[in-house]
């Protein structure tokens, strides 16, 4: 009899807690920080990911890029660089339901026009704009 009460109690508490947990994950809630990330934080995360790369591709060649000192420097030079969930004339992939409920994909796509500064073969500094589309996890980690 006692076992049945425990089973029923865990059922009545467990199901709503699971639905709440997965529902918050689906909505993009970051449990590690106990809050939703702002759009700026998501854009900053993608910028940091791209800026940290040692090389970036240009016309099938990889060049070492001159990294930006900070996100603020980049935004100051490129105020219209970044958008969230803007389709840019083409479709973005729909995230898997399981990725959403487990927090591996916040459902937001960040589009960044990354102006890569690099030195070409002749030693001349150049700038090339690369377009990146990145998905982020609920706590801002770049998914791809």
Q: What is the pLDDT of residue 3?
A: 66
Alpha carbons 30 and 35: distance in angstroms, whole number: 5
Q: Contact at 8 Å (CB) between 20 and 101?
A: no
pLDDT in tens, 29-81: 999 999 999 999 999 999 999 999 888 888 888 888 899 999 999 999 999 99
What is the SS3 string spanning 77-92? HCCCCEEECCCCCCCC
């Amino acid at each position: 009899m006692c076992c049945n009460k425990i089973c029923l109690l865990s059922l009545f508490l467990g199901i709503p807690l699971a639905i709440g947990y997965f529902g918050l994950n689906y909505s993009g809630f970051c449990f590690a920080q106990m809050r939703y990330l702002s759009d700026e934080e998501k854009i900053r995360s993608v910028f940091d990911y791209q800026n940290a790369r040692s090389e970036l591709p240009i016309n099938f060649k990889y060049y070492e890029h001159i990294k930006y000192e900070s996100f603020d420097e980049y935004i100051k030079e490129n105020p219209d660089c970044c958008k969230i969930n803007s389709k840019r004339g083409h479709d973005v992939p729909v995230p898997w339901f399981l990725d959403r409920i487990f927090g591996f994909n916040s459902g937001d796509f960040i589009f960044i026009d990354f102006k890569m500064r690099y030195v070409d073969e002749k030693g001349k500094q150049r700038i090339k704009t690369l377009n990146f589309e990145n998905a982020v996890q609920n706590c801002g980690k770049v998914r791809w």
